[in-house]
Structures are given as C-alpha cells and as structure tokens.
Structure 1
Amino acid sequence: MNDFIVIGGGIAGLSAGARLSAQGTVTVLEAEDGIGYHASGRSAALYEANYGKPAIVALSVASGNYHHNANGGYLTPRGLLLVASASQEAAFREDVDVLSLAPVSLEQARSMVPIVNPDTVAFAAHHDSARDIDTDRMLQDFARVIRGNGGTVLTRANVTSINRANTGWQVGTTDGTHTAHNLVNAAGAWADEIAIMAGVTPIGITPYRRSMARLPAPGGHDVTGWPMLMGVNESWYAKPDAGKLLVSPADQDATHPHDAFADDMVLAEGLARYEEMVTEPVTRVETNWAGLRSFAPDRVLVLGPDPAQRDFIWCAGQGGYGFQTAPAASQLLADLVAGTPSELGADIVALLSPERLR
C-alpha cells in the first residue's frame, strides 16, 4: 500500500507528489497520455510575483528562490509592458500600483516593442522582474524526484472509482486498482468530481476557459527580446514564444471539465483588442487552443486536509497561478501533512485552508 495517491499529473500533482515523496511512497495517477496535458500544458509560463490576491502573491514570492535557483533555475528574463489608451487612464493607474510597474514614455515603450501604436497608446508602464518559466523542465524534474524516492507516475490511468476502506483509499483506474493511506486531490478542473467520487463534500471548484492564438512574428520583427505586452485589467496579453507571438483575449468563461478548445468569436474579439494597440494587423493565426483555469469561489488556492476527512488532501484551485506558486504551495501541503510549521504566516495558511470554504 502507498502512503499517498495523487490524482492529477499536472504541476499541482507532480510538485505535491515530489514534496510528499520525502514522507512516504507516492503514486501519481494521470488520465492522459502524458503529464501536464491540460492546464499545465497550456500555461502562459510567466513568473509575475505581484499578480493575484494576497495569499497568491505570498505563495509566488515564497516560490521565488526555488524558481531562481533550484536545479540551475527555471527562469529567464522577459519583463512586462502595460499599455493603455487615453480613456483607460484610471484602470492604468490601478494596474501600475497593483503590479508595481514604473511608467515609461511612449518612446521608451516603442523601443521595447516597436509595434506599440503611437496613435492609440497614451500610457505605458514597465518592469523587468517578470520571467519566463521553463515549465516542461519543472514538470519533468518534479516527476524525477518522485521516481527517485521510490514513487511512480502513471499515465493513461483514468480514475473510475474511489472507495474508503478501514485501511485507507482504494482507487480504481483504467490501469488497475491502487491503494494508499492518503488521497491527494490535484485533479484541476475535475477536483470537485473527484471529491464527489470519494464521498467528500465538494468546495465549488469552477473551471474557466482561457484561449490562445499563435501568430507569426508581427511585421517580420525579431520578438525574442520583447517583454510580455498586456492591456489594462488584463483585457488581453501578447507574449513572445519561440519566434512567434502568443496572443490571448484573457477570457474567463465558466464552463465544465473537458478538453478545452478556443471559441472563435471570443478569440476574434481579443485579437481585435490587441490590434487596437499595435501597428501591425493580424493577418494569420497559425494555431489556437484553450485551457481551463480552475478557481475556488474566492479565487484562492485550496491546500491541505479536508476538515471532515483528514486523509483526503486538497491541492486545487490553482487558477492561472499553478507554476508560479507550485514550489511554495507544494511545500506548504507537505508541511500541513507532516504537522511541520510553515514558513508562511498563519494568516496566509488560513486563507489557503479548505476550512475557509466549509
């Protein structure tokens, strides 16, 4: 019998499994053909520590040292450039304050991103602390830790049943039955469905679609060194990726757990918002896709044992913050399971606890 079964092979499940593998044997169950298939495989892959609610910011800040230094570091410079029209000044000022940006001139903005439109952009602000995350290497490294500590990461292991026995949990899958003393729910958009299967009260996890389009480098520019470009209130963003430009309408449409795909109309509206602020029109979309960002009702992660079933452990509600919070979130989860004091303050731990939602 395992000490822990982790349901979900994205960044939440693999980071939790890696931390918990220091306490006992771990088996990670992933339904898809490979790890990181759903939200983790469709991430914007940005570390922006000022982004999110206070508890999320605390996790992101606490994850910084790991991101910068573990296994040679996972971050490379990117930066963030916020742009706004004259009518968006109030929202621009608010974003500058929240994200700790420094206002820059239009000339400075265009020196960073030459396609910024001088006829529509009235305000710009920047900082260079945003970083790209090597998400694939992080996933693989956490999986390697699990295996190195005697654990297992199984793919094509779709969960079909969960039963609670006197000795622990029995989880039936398309790969067979697995048993463990503790069950970790890191199932992303499916987290409430897993809870219901386990006879545990769900907490209201809702998946929201986020769409993305890959465009050729606009105007033939070399986009490699451009910062991430963002509209106010995160109404759209554009991020360089492998010589192309990823543009998202930053949509947040509530949906159900599924293998998500982009909505053509939503994508077109987002691309139009992007086009308003740049000089180069969108002439071709090379490909598009969507992912599900799953949130608890208060949009803060849910980490720790369920108050009514202590051997059922929540690792859910990562939203769009999964990779940037993973190092600290997984460490907190392991600390809570072991009964070890967390380096995070008690107030932050309480904001992340499942008990807040009961």
Structure 2
Amino acid sequence: MSAHQHYDIIVIGAGMAGASVAAELAGAGRVVLLERESHPGYHTTGRSAALYTQAYGPPVIRALSRASYTFFLGQGPGNPPAGLLRPRGALFVARADQAGKLDAMRSALDSVVEPQTAEQLRARSPLLRDGYASAGLFDNSAADIEVHGLHQHYLSHFRAEGGSLITRAEVKGLVRIGADWQVETQDQVLHAPIVINAAGAWADIIAEMAGVAPKGLRPLRRTALLVDPPTGIVPDAWPMVVDVEEQFYLKPDAGKLLISPADETLSEPCDAQPEELDIAICVDRIQTAFDLQIRRIDHKWAGLRSFLPDGDPMAGYATDAPGFFWLAGQGGYGIQSAPATARSAAALVQGNDLPADVLDLGVTVAALSPARLRVAA
C-alpha cells in the first residue's frame, strides 16, 4: 500500500454526478476522484436512455434540468462543448383509461407540452397501433444527450484543472480521524477534510462505512433492449414515445429501436443484468402498443436508478458527521440535471449559496438538504 496522501476534497464515484462536481471543484483545491471500476461511468452513467426533457421528473428535478439547458446548448459557465443535444422530441401517450393521468400531466406541464390527438400521435410515431392511444402530449424541446461527450467533458476539465482520477479504487475503509476523513482503498490511504459521497447505488453503503446514518436510498433496476425496426423503415427522425404512466418507452437509436418496460425492481447495489421476465414484459408491452414484431434482440442491458424516499435528489453536508457531503438520489434524471446539480453541489461544498439561476427557478438549500430526510430504519 502506498504512503498516505492528503487532499482538500475526496470524491467517491466517477459517474456523472461525481465527475461533474469534481470538475466544478477542481480549481478550488487538491481534489481526487475515486472510481471502483476500471473506467468511469461503468454502471448507471453508461446505461442511460440519454434524453433531455423538461417534462420529466418531480419539480426539483425539472428546475435543475431547466437550469442545465444553457450548458447543454454549449453556453454558460464551465466552457461546455457544442453538440451535447440533438433534437428528438418526446410523445407521452395515453389509452382512453389513462385519460386522468394525462390530464394531470398536462396541468403540471402546461407550458412545456402540446396536446395531441390520436391522429397526431400516429403521424409523429407511425408504428403506434391504430386505436391504442386516444390522446397524448408532445414535448418539442426534448433532445438526445450525448452522454459520453458530457461525461468526458467533465473528466477532461477535471484533469485540466489539476484533479487526480484513480480507477480500481474501491473504498474499503472510511473513518474520521481528527479534522480529516481517512479513505482506504486496496492500494492507497487518502486523507481530506471533505468527502463527497457520489457513489450512486452504493451511497448508503459508503455512509454506513463512515458511521453516517443511511438515507433509505432505493436502487431500482431498469431494463433496456435494442431491436430492429420493421424492414425498410428508418425511424431516426421519430420522437421518443413514453407511456403516460411510464409503463414503457420506445426511442429511435442509430437506425435501431431502444425499448424498455420502464421497470423499477428493487435491487441490491450491483452490476445489474437484465432478467428474462423483464425482457418478456418489455416485448409484450411494446408489441401491444406498436405495430412491431420483435423476433430478435440485438442487445440487452440493465442499470440501477437510485431514488430517495421523497423522490428528490440530495446535495448537502450530513448533519451527523462533519465534512461528509451527500450527492445522491438523482434517480433516472441525473444526466439531464447534471450541469446545474454539479454547480449547486460545488457551491454548497464551499459554503456558498446556490447559483442565482437555480434559486430563481425555485430550488432551495432546504429542498436539497439531507436534513429533510429521516434516518433509514
């Protein structure tokens, strides 16, 4: 094991959350980013459906997503690269028996979405079965996110600002010694007064290791498949289609169709893999809603989306341990809200208020604070 090394901040987890906040903080001191796998983003970040939409998620997430929009356009702080968004559009479709859910969604998102008749839905997504959906909503601003480009931007910016990335660095021990946290990996012992817990599905495990009360994080498995469209059809210009109750989604993907049953199966933190039952449910739901015969699956995978009990993300210092900063619970929205979440978390780490644009959209320190959550039983 190498000699002890001292930093100002240790970030645990180099997925999108960890990489982005580390990049925002790199110029403020000596920052090290630890990743348990051989390369960053192996788990949830690398398995995202990669859609930006302001019509997705609870109010705090939608506000953070709106505050991230200029970054995705290649503008604003952080020198974002161009080309992070590609126009896609998103259709939220409802059967006749789902009319109440559609009305509720329209009321919550009236300024973001446009009502659609059944005929308009089929014109935008020709594979929808005639008679399946009675009405829907269209989010014209929805776009594909270049997830790899976004993640690599943050990692490159982090390194350029002097940050250190260490892979194959699973945390084996985490304890407060005096004014510092001591983080032990297989090969190194590191010290810093501040530890940022951005470990995704493993965040509660990291907290317990540190003697910090867990927050009831729930890793939920989601399955995705890649299949062929009908012969002769090129779906690339079509919008993503999402069931209004999120029972499935279908999204064009480089000449293929990415489909999911939008499952949310509670899981232990792990390298999630798809299960045959979820695959069968996915195929059944998609073939029920779309004129699509799925005879072969090109690729299948699963990822974990981690939610806190109230569904909102958490960014703030623990109330029961000095210098332990939570950055967790982004659920399925962590990519689209990452730029604003990272700026917000970096501000809070340094004892500052939230960025003005985030405050203007109604996000408060209290809404992000770990103190809002009861200790998990």
TM-score range, shorter chain: over 0.9
| Alignment match of 1:8 (pick from 7, 13, 16) | 13
CA distance in structure 1 between the aligned counterparts of 2:103 and 2:284, rounded to whole angstroms: 23
- Higher share of residues assigned helix: 1
How far the C-alpha of 1:73 sits from its partner, in A, is 4.5
Question: What SS is found at the alignment partner of 1:233?
Answer: coil
Counterpart contact for 1:58–1:348, Cα < 8 Å: no
How far the C-alpha of 1:347 sits from its partner, in A, is 5.6
How far the C-alpha of 1:167 sits from its partner, in A, is 4.0
> 1:264-294: per-residue Cα shift (whole Å, max 9, x none)?
1122113212211211222221121110001
Q: Match of 1:214?
A: 226
CA distance in structure 1 between the aligned counterparts of 2:56 and 2:87, rounded to whole angstroms: 17
CA distance in structure 2 between the aligned counterparts of 1:300 and 1:220, rounded to whole angstroms: 43
Percent of aligned pairs with the same residue?
42
CA distance in structure 2 between the aligned counterparts of 1:329 and 1:279, rounded to whole angstroms: 39
Counterpart contact for 1:95–1:233, Cα < 8 Å: no
> 1:32-78: per-residue Cα shift (whole Å, max 9, x none)?
11111111111010111221111111111111111112222411100
Q: Match of 1:156?
A: 168
CA distance in structure 1 between the aligned counterparts of 2:94 and 2:273, rounded to whole angstroms: 29
| Alignment match of 2:86 (pick from 68, 76, 83) | 76
1:188 aligns with 2:204: no
Q: Match of 2:105?
A: 95
5 Å-filtered alignment, 1:196-235, equals 196-235=208-247
Q: Which amino acid aligns with 1:90?
A: G
CA distance in structure 2 between the aligned counterparts of 1:218 and 1:124, rounded to whole angstroms: 24
Question: What SS is found at the alignment partner of 1:41?
Answer: helix
Q: TM-score, normalised by structure 1?
A: 0.96
More displaced stretch, 82-91 vs 190-199:
82-91
Q: Match of 1:64?
A: 69
More displaced stretch, 170-179 vs 344-353:
344-353
Question: What SS is found at the alignment partner of 1:5?
Answer: strand
Q: Match of 2:309?
A: 297
How far the C-alpha of 1:177 sits from its partner, in A, is 1.7
How far the C-alpha of 1:104 sits from its partner, in A, is 2.4
Q: Which amino acid aligns with 1:173?
A: T
Q: Which amino acid aligns with 1:63?
A: S
Q: Which amino acid aligns with 2:19?
A: L
CA distance in structure 2 between the aligned counterparts of 1:97 and 1:269, rounded to whole angstroms: 30
Question: What SS is found at the alignment partner of 1:66?
Answer: helix
RMSD over aligned Cα, in angstroms? 1.6
Q: Which amino acid aligns with 2:50?
A: A
Q: Match of 2:123?
A: 111
Question: What SS is found at the alignment partner of 1:350?
Answer: helix
CA distance in structure 2 between the aligned counterparts of 1:175 and 1:181, rounded to whole angstroms: 20
5 Å-filtered alignment, 1:133-172, equals 133-172=145-184
Counterpart contact for 1:25–1:149, Cα < 8 Å: no
Question: What SS is found at the alignment partner of 1:310?
Answer: coil
CA distance in structure 2 between the aligned counterparts of 1:59 and 1:302, rounded to whole angstroms: 12
Question: What SS is found at the alignment partner of 2:8?
Answer: strand
Q: TM-score, normalised by structure 2?
A: 0.91
How far the C-alpha of 1:92 sits from its partner, in A, is 2.5
> 1:189-216: per-residue Cα shift (whole Å, max 9, x none)?
0000001111111111110111111111
CA distance in structure 1 between the aligned counterparts of 2:230 and 2:135, rounded to whole angstroms: 22
CA distance in structure 2 between the aligned counterparts of 1:111 and 1:214, rounded to whole angstroms: 23
Are the structure 2 counterparts of residues 347 and 79 from structure 1 closer, same or farther at C-alpha, using a change threshold of 3 Å?
A: closer
Question: What SS is found at the alignment partner of 1:189?
Answer: helix
Q: Note the residue ranges of structure 2 that are not aligned, 5 or more in a row.
A: 1-5, 75-79
